[in-house]
Structures are given as structure tokens and as C-alpha cells.
């Protein structure tokens, strides 16, 4: 890639990755067992404060296992945000269950007020669980997604879960390093509050193993079962006895070695990302019609992705046009995901008062945010955004 091209989000592989991976190859511990798998799990526990962590092949597989362990069955429904990457929604369907789509709040995270309203008005509490009056199915769980690293209102989510006896699966795939600084969950990391949380180490994530995931829980039974299911549900590893259907979902030692090295630099990555977020914010402050998405009160995010809200009337061109123009200038920019309640496999599913998500979908533009993005590159992006407005 030419140096003048500014990517949206590329990994920063600048630490001990090569050294640790080489050690795996030299010692021939390359598969799904080995010291780095254990170390990566332990390091994640230490960093996040989670009691248990089970490494797995990717975040999507982690979410699938998490939903299964939460007891989600084919007769159930799960409340999910419509504004998210499609992976958590697909994970619900892998279990034969159905997603019910919820609107988002001012930070693009699941709208807690509307979720409560949906549970109280559209459902009834029965002795078998929370029954959706329209579908006749039972709502088993809520799956908040900490979008772009901004922590969700977990106090609100957990209150709803307790009131209606729902399980909470935190899709924390984008938010490794994000935590709360106030309230009931002060100092708690995203992914460690619900029944189960999941991280992703996909190539574009703040810590990458090429592909990978981690299932977090404070419950030993869940952790043991996650380990069991992700290793083909092996009950006897000598005689190969399997009493359940399992999966080949374990992370390899090679990938875990990379994860350990990446994790050593996580604090540094967050520092750079925070600095660049603040620089963008300062430099774009006086550009009419352009605003950086904010940070929820009482949280410290990992600043994974930067989102611009583009108001066509004030800026002079819409998000689509700005994206195209930036791309022409060798600056990669991308709109937020298409809303899931409109995606072909899900457009017949129930959705609840989707308004804000639609508003964001029309206006959000993600701009370069890599951990190795320089101040000079940030300034180049800002200069182009300003020049484009001047020349509308």
C-alpha cells in the first residue's frame, strides 16, 4: 500500500509478535494447546478483571457459544441492536432463535429506555419466562454491543435483565480496554458485567491475532462448558468419547502468541487513539455540519473507531459524497453498517421503534483510526474535509 494512502484501520504489529510466534514454530507448539493459549487467557483475565477467559477461533463463534450457554433455544428470541455489525445477529440464528431489533441511543448503543418499554408493553411475564405477545415466543436474552468501543448503559441493561429474568450476552468485540469510571460498575471493563462477554481479535480490532476471540465469564461452570464445547465436547481425550455436539472453535498457540504480544501494547494503542480522537475533535470543532460522535458519561472508551456525524445542510454535501471525495484523495472512509432489521435474512423479524439508528445510518462516516495513525495524517484528513467544504 502506498504510504500516501491513509487506511481506515490497520493493525499495528510492532512488538514481540515475531519473537513469540517464532518460539511456537521452533518448539513445534503451533496448534490449539500450548503455553501462549494459557498465557493469553490469563493476561486477558488480569487486564479486564474477568475471573475466567476461554480463547476461541473468532468473536462470532464466541457469541454463538455464549448464546448456547445462556440457554438460548430455537423457540426463543433475543433482543439485539439493529445498528451493529451483523455477526451477533447471525449468531442468534445459528441457534435457530430469532432476533428482535432495537433502536439505539445517542452513542449508537442499544436504547435502554425503548428496551424496557418493549419488555413492559409488548411482552408479558409468565411462569415460563418473558413472552412476546406478538410472536408468542419467549425472550431469553439481551445482547448489547459496545459499538466502536463506547460502553453501553450496562446499569440500564442489567436492571432490565433482572426485572424480566433475561440473560445478558455482552458483545464486547470492539471494546477491549473500555471501562466504566462512575456508578455501580465503576472500574469494570465492558464484557465483564453480563452473564457472558465476548471479545474479537479480528484484523481490524485494537488487539489482533489475525482472527480470534475470547469468551469471558465470572461463572466457573460456564467457563468449563465453554472450553468443553469449543474443543469438540471431548469427554475422554484418550478413548474419544463425546457426549454432546461440540465445535472445533479453539484458538491456536500461534495466534495466541500474537495476542500476548499485542496485549503488551494495548495501553500504548489506546493512548495514541485517544490523542488522535482529541486532535480530530479540536481540529474539526469549527467545521460547520461536522461533529465527532461523543463519549458516554462515566466511561473511558478504547477509542477504537472514530465516527463523524455529517449534516448535509450545514456541511454542504452528504455523507456519501464526502466519503467518495475522501476516497478520491487516498483517504479511506466508510459509512456505518446497513441496519440489520432491513437486511434480507432479517427484514421480516420484529423491530421496535427504530428511529435514531436510521438517523445515524444516514449521517455516520468512519474516518482513519489505526493505532499507528500519525498526527500529520490526522491533519491531512482534517485539511481535506475543510477544503472540500470550501469548494462545495
Ligand X SMILES: Cc1ncc(COP(=O)(O)O)c(C=O)c1O
Q: Which residues bind ligand X (CB under 6 A)?
A: 58-60, 84-85, 87-88, 145, 171, 173-174, 200, 202, 213
CB of 51 to ligand X, least distance (A): 22
Nearer to ligand X, 284 or 365 (CB): 365
The runs of H, that is alpha helices, within the chain are 17-27, 35-48, 59-69, 87-94, 112-117, 154-164, 220-230, 253-264, 266-283, 312-315, 319-328, 356-363, 375-390
252 near 29, Cβ under 8 Å?
Answer: no
Nearer to ligand X, 9 or 58 (CB): 58
CB of 103 to ligand X, least distance (A): 17
Give CA–CA dist 64/62, Å, rounded: 5
**Locus of grid cell 465527532:** 292
CB of 173 to ligand X, least distance (A): 4
CB of 82 to ligand X, least distance (A): 12
Euclidean distance between the first and the last CA atom of the chain, given in angstroms as a whole number: 30
CB of 259 to ligand X, least distance (A): 12
CB of 337 to ligand X, least distance (A): 9
Q: What angle do CA 289, 292, 297 make, to 5 degrees?
A: 130
φ/ψ of 124, rounded to 5, equals -130, 145
Q: Which residue is nearest to ligand X (CB)?
A: 59
Give CA–CA dist 58/200, Å, rounded: 6
Give CA–CA dist 291/313, Å, rounded: 13
Nearer to ligand X, 174 or 384 (CB): 174
CB within 8 A of 254, min separation 6: which ones?
21, 24, 25, 30, 36
Task: Transcribe 265-312 into DSSP letters.
Answer: THHHHHHHHHHHHHHHHHHTTTSTTEEE----TTEE-----EEEEE-H
Nearer to ligand X, 84 or 265 (CB): 84
Nearer to ligand X, 12 or 86 (CB): 86
Other beta carbons within 10 angstroms of residue 268's beta carbon come to 13
Nearer to ligand X, 208 or 223 (CB): 208
CB of 213 to ligand X, least distance (A): 5
CB of 305 to ligand X, least distance (A): 9
Nearer to ligand X, 115 or 200 (CB): 200
Residue 197 bridge partners (DSSP): 170, 216
CB of 208 to ligand X, least distance (A): 9
Nearer to ligand X, 194 or 289 (CB): 194
Nearer to ligand X, 85 or 107 (CB): 85
Give CA–CA dist 386/205, Å, rounded: 29
Amino acid at each position: 500500500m502506498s504510504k500516501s494512502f491513509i487506511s481506515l484501520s490497520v493493525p499495528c504489529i510492532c512488538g514481540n509478535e515475531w519473537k513469540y510466534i517464532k518460539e511456537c514454530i521452533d518448539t513445534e507448539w503451533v496448534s490449539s494447546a500450548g503455553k501462549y493459549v494459557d498465557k493469553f487467557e490469563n493476561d486477558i483475565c488480569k487486564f479486564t478483571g474477568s475471573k475466567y477467559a476461554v480463547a476461541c477461533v473468532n468473536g462470532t463463534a464466541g457469541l454463538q457459544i455464549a448464546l448456547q450457554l445462556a440457554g438460548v433455544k430455537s423457540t426463543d428470541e433475543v433482543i439485539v441492536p439493529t445498528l451493529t455489525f451483523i455477526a451477533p445477529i447471525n449468531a442468534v440464528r445459528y441457534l435457530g432463535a430469532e432476533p428482535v431489533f432495537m433502536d439505539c441511543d445517542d452513542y449508537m448503543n442499544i436504547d435502554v429506555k425503548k428496551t424496557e418499554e418493549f419488555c413492559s408493553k409488548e411482552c408479558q411475564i409468565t411462569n415460563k419466562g418473558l413472552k412476546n405477545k406478538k410472536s408468542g415466543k419467549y425472550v431469553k436474552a439481551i445482547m448489547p454491543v459496545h459499538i466502536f468501543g463506547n460502553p453501553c448503559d450496562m446499569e440500564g441493561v442489567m436492571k432490565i435483565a433482572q426485572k424480566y429474568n433475561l440473560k445478558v450476552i455482552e458483545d464486547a468485540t470492539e471494546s477491549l480496554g473500555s471501562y466504566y469510571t462512575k456508578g455501580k460498575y465503576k472500574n469494570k471493563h465492558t464484557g465483564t458485567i453480563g452473564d457472558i462477554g465476548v471479545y474479537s481479535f479480528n484484523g481490524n480490532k485494537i488487539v489482533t491475532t489475525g482472527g480470534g476471540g475470547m469468551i469471558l465469564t465470572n461463572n466457573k461452570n460456564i467457563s468449563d462448558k465453554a472450553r468443553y464445547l469449543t474443543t469438540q465436547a471431548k469427554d475422554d481425550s484418550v478413548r474419544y468419547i463425546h457426549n454432546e455436539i461440540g465445535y472445533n472453535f479453539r484458538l491456536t498457540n500461534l495466534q495466541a502468541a500474537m495476542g500476548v504480544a499485542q496485549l503488551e501494547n494495548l495501553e500504548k494503542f489506546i493512548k495514541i487513539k485517544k490523542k488522535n480522537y482529541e486532535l480530530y475533535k479540536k481540529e474539526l470543532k469549527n467545521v460547520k455540519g461536522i461533529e465527532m460522535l461523543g463519549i458516554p458519561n462515566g466511561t473511558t472508551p478504547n477509542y477504537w473507531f472514530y465516527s463523524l456525524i455529517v449534516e448535509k445542510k450545514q456541511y454542504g454535501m452528504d455523507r456519501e459524497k464526502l466519503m467518495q471525495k475522501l476516497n478520491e484523495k487516498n483517504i479511506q472512509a466508510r459509512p456505518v453498517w446497513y441496519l440489520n432489521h432491513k437486511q434480507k435474512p432479517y427484514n421480516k423479524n420484529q423491530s421496535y421503534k427504530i428511529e435514531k439508528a436510521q438517523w445515524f445510518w444516514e449521517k455516520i462516516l468512519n474516518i482513519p483510526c489505526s493505532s499507528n495513525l500519525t498526527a500529520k495524517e490526522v491533519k491531512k484528513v482534517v485539511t481535506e474535509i475543510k477544503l472540500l467544504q470550501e469548494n462545495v
